[in-house]
Structure 1
Amino acid sequence: MATIEAYETRSGRRYRVRYRTPDRRQTDKRGFTTKRDAERFARTVEVSKDRGEYIDPADSRVTVGELGTVWLKNRTNLKPSTFRTTESAWRIHVEPRWGQTLVSAVRFSDVETWVSELSAGKSATTVLRAHGVLLSILAGAVRDRRILSNPAEGVPLPRKRRKEHIYLSHEQLHSLADAAGVHRTLILVLGYTGLRWGEMAGLRVKDADLTRRRLHVERNAVEVGSRVEVGTPKSHKRRSVPLPAFMVPLVAQQAAGKGPDEILFPSSTGGFIKRPSLKGPAATALTSNKHSWFTSALKRAELDYMTLHDLRHTAASLAVSAGANVKAVQRMLGHASAAMTLDVYADLFDDDLDAVGAALDQAVSASGVGKMWANAA
């Protein structure tokens, strides 16, 4: 049980509470101006120990900045590109606001205000990423018994507005590929296989199995600042994607003269090819005097502004229109689940509803129920 002792100071009598922590370590808290306050604190300590909710005051006197530095250092499981955006969110948005704040002093209302202020000037993606960093740091503090609950949980967050997908037709895709010149095969690979840019850039000659018409996706060459980091594909899952027969000779030509371990689509200097710049607002990107090879190809093909990632959407669209089911599209794109594919490309499967209706109508007619309805009428 806790004991209470009085002691004298220049400002008058004060009270000290001596008690033991759950691990039987003796400690105390002093400075209470009345015995009643000391008794109230002592009761609170005993109740929190009984409930398993005791938090050592010394453990809660750590700042978000101290925990955040360690938290960021331990994010070794993140891919380089993800780590870069996470570190940026911490350095630019989280640390300046919360770095000097004790974890025990973070309040739900303060986090709510911070999110609201960020939302006023930043995109939903930026806000969600910054909040996610703070949420994760405080979750670690809860697990370490520094705070009882996470004050960043349940804060209202902005919703990301999904960008409308752009789907090219076969004719438009081939027109763009022709306009891309030396990058013709590269555009067709992106538009028919749905590979992400880094997955395409990381392909080696030996990853192209032309006999089985497959491209094996085993690594990802993604740009992190001015460097290209090579690692596993997104979600660390390797996969194989189908290669249309008409593209086999094109890929074979691309691989000609290269060794098995050489890059299939190298840059002009022989290294990993970097994503072409798409600087400038969508409305002016195609009218700027400074074009990347991709925006120049869009202009020559007389296509509206789009991004390279829209070629991945195009691959999904062309696969669905060719009769591929959602599971096949999921495997081709490397999504975690078919549910994710449906969520991203629900609009592509609208025609399936018409097919269901037609199939049900045909089934009713074949069963004779249709004739019964006709006779009854």
Structure 2
Amino acid sequence: MAMANLQRRENGKWRARYRDQTGKQIARHFGRKMDAQRWLDEVTTSVVTGQYVDPKAGQVTFRAYAETWRKAQVHRPSSAAHVETMLRRHAYPALGDRAMASILPSEIQAWVKRMSEGLAPSTVGVIHGIVSSVFKAAVRDRRIMANPCEGTKLPTVVRTKVKPLTTEQVDVLYDKVPDELKALVTYTAGVGPRQGEALALARDERLRLLGTNPMVKIDRQLVTTRNGKTEFGPLKTKASYRDVPLPKVVVVALNAHIATFDVGAGELLFTLNGQPITRQAFGHVWRPAAKAAGLDAETGTGMHALRHYYASLLIRHGESPKVVQARLGHATAAETLDTYSHLWPDSDDQTRAAIDSVLGTAARGFGDCVGTGDA
């Protein structure tokens, strides 16, 4: 700090002033000398420790800074569109025109409470996380001294257990979707891709329908951009890139679909009116079918319900968590277990059956002890 001093004014107030690192003079007035000195000491400390923030730097509006931040992020197209939507719909109406430095933690808490009255707790958490990232960047840029999102009490997210569809519900979905999407239902129920992964399926080297080991390579997804167009994008995580074996029922369905709709080499298998399927267009044809099949909050009302159905079939037929993880493209087995652990056979029953299967026949003498209460 080039200069710092205190001066008593004719009106009795104390003027504290200093020059910042650029030589610009900054002054504040206080009624008491001790308050003025305390302020100067805080500024001096922030300069010495490298935490100095120009009081004028935080006057940029949240919207202006957030837009600069957003455009600089390295996001997948779908993630970039999601961040833009969350900021535009939920953050900018409440915070957009406010100066960054003027936004208080109590105001962030009040904003979160208002959102909680109409949005799911998980959605509120996502929006708050995006806004917090903007403020964190502003702290690093020395625009503000602290992140007002720190310490916010968020609504509790209650994880609900996945309730898989029944095969009868899958059959209804198959019957109710347009003819050009019937094979999509079979493919998703029999392979378990995410929606964007399924809609990106093309008749190319990724899809192997011939031979003794039919397989599909999942290495891209179809995403809908903000302007309503579609494009191919990278997958969710590194683990999402995977090869999945194709069951016979899926091979038959895809071959029939290719023949019926004359899908050419390199073309997408699933289209509407000959065009790649956007999220909006897919929603229009999916929602009536989902309603007819009785999809609800427990099963999930989106196409993701078919992915859960696929996972439940693997578990029911004895596949391990690691195999289910690999087939679904989860980042870790822990993610798989967090989602589907309740679908695996009860471990208590398995423990009893394992012991009884051995001791119940090989060690007959143990039967004399059963029910005696001896520890």
With the length of structure 1 as denominator, give the TM-score of the two structures.
Answer: 0.80
Aligned residue identity for 1:213? P
> Which digits, 9 at most, give the CA deviation of each residue in 1:66-86, with x for residues without a partner?
3112112223x3233333332
What residue is the counterpart of 2:127 in the other structure? Answer: 130
2:227 counterpart of 1:222: no
Aligned residue identity for 1:73? K
**Which one of 260, 266, 275 corresponds to residue 271 of structure 2?**
266
Contact 2:112-2:154 at 8 Å conserved across structures: yes
SS class of match (2:5): strand
**Which one of 239, 244, 247 corresponds to residue 241 of structure 1?**
244
Matches within 5 A, 1:41-80: 41-75=39-73, 77-80=74-77
Distance 1:375 1:98, change over 3 A: closer
Aligned residue identity for 1:223? T
> Which digits, 9 at most, give the CA deviation of each residue in 1:285-316, with x for residues without a partner?
xxxxxxx47735874xxx32343221111111
Measured after TM superposition, the shift of residue 363 of structure 1 is 5.2
**Which one of 139, 149, 153 corresponds to residue 142 of structure 1?**
139
Measured after TM superposition, the shift of residue 136 of structure 1 is 0.8
Distance 1:351 1:27, change over 3 A: same
Contact 1:177-1:188 at 8 Å conserved across structures: yes
Aligned residue identity for 2:193? L
Measured after TM superposition, the shift of residue 359 of structure 1 is 2.0
Aligned residue identity for 2:319? A
Distance 1:273 1:353, change over 3 A: farther
Contact 1:63-1:103 at 8 Å conserved across structures: yes
2:343 counterpart of 1:348: yes
Aligned residue identity for 2:235? P
SS class of match (1:354): helix
What residue is the counterpart of 1:18 in the other structure? Answer: 18
SS class of match (2:275): coil
Contact 1:63-1:99 at 8 Å conserved across structures: yes
Contact 1:86-1:129 at 8 Å conserved across structures: no
Measured on the aligned residues, the alpha-carbon RMSD in Å equals 3.2
Matches within 5 A, 1:307-322: 307-322=302-317
Measured after TM superposition, the shift of residue 321 of structure 1 is 0.7
SS class of match (1:345): helix
Matches within 5 A, 1:189-228: 189-206=187-204, 207-210=206-209, 211=211, 212-224=213-225, 226-228=228-230
Runs of 4+ aligned residues of structure 1 deviating over 6 Å after TM superposition are none
Distance 1:56 1:356, change over 3 A: farther
Contact 2:6-2:36 at 8 Å conserved across structures: no
How far, CA to CA, are the matches of 1:52 and 1:252 in structure 2? 66
Measured after TM superposition, the shift of residue 16 of structure 1 is 4.2
Residues matched between the structures, number: 355
What residue is the counterpart of 1:331 in the other structure? Answer: 326
Aligned residue identity for 2:368? A
Measured after TM superposition, the shift of residue 263 of structure 1 is 1.3
Aligned residue identity for 1:234? K
Aligned residue identity for 2:318? G
85-94 or 111-120, which moves further after superposition? Answer: 85-94
Distance 1:156 1:364, change over 3 A: farther
How far, CA to CA, are the matches of 2:321 and 2:232 in structure 1? 30
How far, CA to CA, are the matches of 2:362 and 2:150 in structure 1? 55
Structure with greater contact order relative to length (CA < 8 Å, sep ≥ 6): 2
SS class of match (1:48): helix
> Which digits, 9 at most, give the CA deviation of each residue in 1:261-303, with x for residues without a partner?
1112233x32223556656xxxxxxxxxxxx47735874xxx3
Percent of aligned pairs with the same residue?
30
